[in-house]
Amino acid sequence: MQESPGSEDSPEGSPHVVVNGSGSVNGRGTGSIGVLGQSPDGRLLSPLTSPLLTDAGCVRHDDEDEARRKKFPTDKAYFIAKELLTTERTYLKDLQVITESFQSVAGKDEAFPDSVKNLISASYDPVYKFHQGFLKEVEQRLAQWEGRSNAHIKGDYQRIGDVLLKNIQGLRQLTVHLQKHSECLVELERACRSSRKAEAACRDFEQQRVCYLPLNIFLLRPLHRLLHYKLILERLCKHYPPTHDDFRDCRAALADISEMVLQLQGAMMKMENFQKLLELKKDLTGIDNLAIPGREFIRLGCLSKLSGKGLQQRMFFLFSDSLVYTSRGLTPSNQFKVHGQLPLYGMTIRESEEEWGVPHSFTLFGQRQSVVVAASCESEMERWVEDIRMAIDLAEQTSSPNTDLLSTSLSDNKLSEDGGAELESEEELCGSRSSLERQGQRGNTTVHVCWHRNTSVSMVDFSVAVENQLSGNLLRKFKNSNGWQKLWVVFTNFSLFFYKSHQDDYPLASLPLLGYSVTVPSESESIHKDYVFKLHFKSHVYYFRSESEYTFERWMEVIRSATCSASRSLPSTRKDLY
């Protein structure tokens, strides 16, 4: 995403825009992330010829959109139904990653056992086929609602509850397949653990542009989608008066989907934790046995650690049994190198700002060592202290201390925080300050974004993010450009993903939002348009226009859930389950 070469919004000057060059949008590709896309024949596009990523190539949509908007329905129920449509389109594309892209790779690879291939095919293909039909029905209903077909017939088509009720009842028949999705995740991981070839095949697949998120997230998408239906139906039921024609169907559909969510939620929570542990295992070097039964991920993020050399930036990972600290190494896979761990059993914690004269600092007293750390701000410190105290309480409830989490290879080195084994080279220190664009594969995972933005995320944040997904057309403008460019935008996993249209198979660019603020433009910014929100991080500013007050509020709501500290510290509806 850039206006012109060398502008402040260019990848070279920006720590947050990742452009899909010869690799994958999430930085897991093999090519340089600073590259601006490729033409169909494989040649690199210059910034000035990329139709998506330049101001010069953008099409103005102002008058055309204004005229179109005046013709369209303005009822809030219509926009809620339209959100169902736009997110269903994204969901179907995500299912295709498993049912088409991954299965075509796995089908040709003997490294995957037939049992795993058959399990995935039998569990996902019927779900994909069902949702193809569901999407067609939703598209048809929205076309009728908008008057694009059968324009002379009105009333009966200005509702969506009947379509939802019919299809959620159909979806209930697929519960047996949805219950197998947890097993698919476990079996695929088992296949990767027992075969290096299978593991390499999955790793290679994750570098394809179509796999814009970690593969395991796609496997959990059908369970996540149930939550989205529930939230959409809750909004419809809240909007309609009980006398409305659509209310009864919406209420019945909500009862059905709520029952399904209740039935599958326990498995979903376990799988989200398992998936997160598997993901973190790829980001860490020095831990062999991270995803063990009973271990829960709680929080990851940046803290400065006080040592003989002063304060040093470290990446901390809090689990239900231990706190692990790492630094970013310059390995080919950009992994974080484990330096040590503190078992939580018997740990105490004390705020120590006055003792050390370091703002937002606290001391962790372990049974074998003590560590002084400092957060970037007061609210970050409060979040860490609260979660560590909660984790210590959980650890104390177990009968005995857990075994060491570090692998033997690392323990043998006996790394000390001030000792020679941990002395970082100048190259490594420079690498810690490099921008997200210059990362190789896995260079733009949530862990890396937290490192560069000096922030943290918790399992509760990840859970909230699962619920807060959104798709749709937005108009985008850079700070110093005049025109608005129409894009298809998907918000998921704390990031915005940009496409030319909803039919595209992979995103052309992404914008990780951790650390960003979302506001409305001030008078002095002279935007003079309705429904505009502003994304801002340091000197990087983007404006986005939505089509209605409802969609504007929804985009603000979901983006705030990922960017605002206040929102991220609020208890989730599912927090009690952790």
pLDDT in tens, 94-126: 999 999 999 999 988 888 999 999 999 999 999
Query: Residue 518 pLDDT more than 80?
Result: yes
CATH 1.20.900.10 range(s) for the chain read 67-285
Q: What are phi and psi of 281, to 5 degrees?
A: -60, -35
Average pLDDT over the chain, rounded to an integer: 80
Query: Residue 424 pLDDT more than 80?
Result: no
Is 297-460 CATH 2.30.29.30? Answer: yes
More confident of the two residues 60 and 5: 60
Distances from the Cα of 372 to the Cαs of 365, 451, 526, in angstroms? Answer: 9, 19, 47
Q: What pairs with residue 322 in β-bridges? A: 343
Please write the tens of the pLDDT for every residue from 15-56: 444 444 333 333 333 333 333 334 333 333 332 223 344 444
Distances from the Cα of 265 to the Cαs of 4, 260, 394, in angstroms? Answer: 47, 8, 22
Query: Residue 287 pLDDT more than 80?
Result: yes
CATH 2.30.29.30 range(s) for the chain read 11-57+469-569, 297-460
The region of weakest confidence among 58-67, 152-161, 206-215, 461-470 is: 58-67
* pLDDT score recorded for residue 157: 82
Query: Residue 441 pLDDT more than 80?
Result: no
Q: What pairs with residue 532 in β-bridges? A: 545
CATH code for the structural domain at 11-57+469-569: 2.30.29.30
For 394, the 3-state DSSP assignment is helix
Please write the tens of the pLDDT for every residue from 153-207: 555 788 999 999 999 999 999 999 999 999 999 999 999 999 999 999 999 999 9
Residue 338 structure tokens: 């484990």
Closest by Cα among 326, 358, 349 to 339: 326
* pLDDT score recorded for residue 400: 56
Q: Where are the beta strands (DSSP E) in 153-296?
A: 284-285
Q: pTM of the entire structure? A: 0.82
CATH superfamily of the domain spanning 67-285: Dbl homology (DH) domain (1.20.900.10)
Sign of torsion, CA 46 52 55 61? positive
Residue 176 structure tokens: 């047996």
pLDDT band at 150 (very low <50, low <70, confident <90, very high): low
AA identity, residue 297: F
Dmax (CA) for the chain in angstroms is 80
Query: Residue 84 pLDDT more than 70?
Result: yes
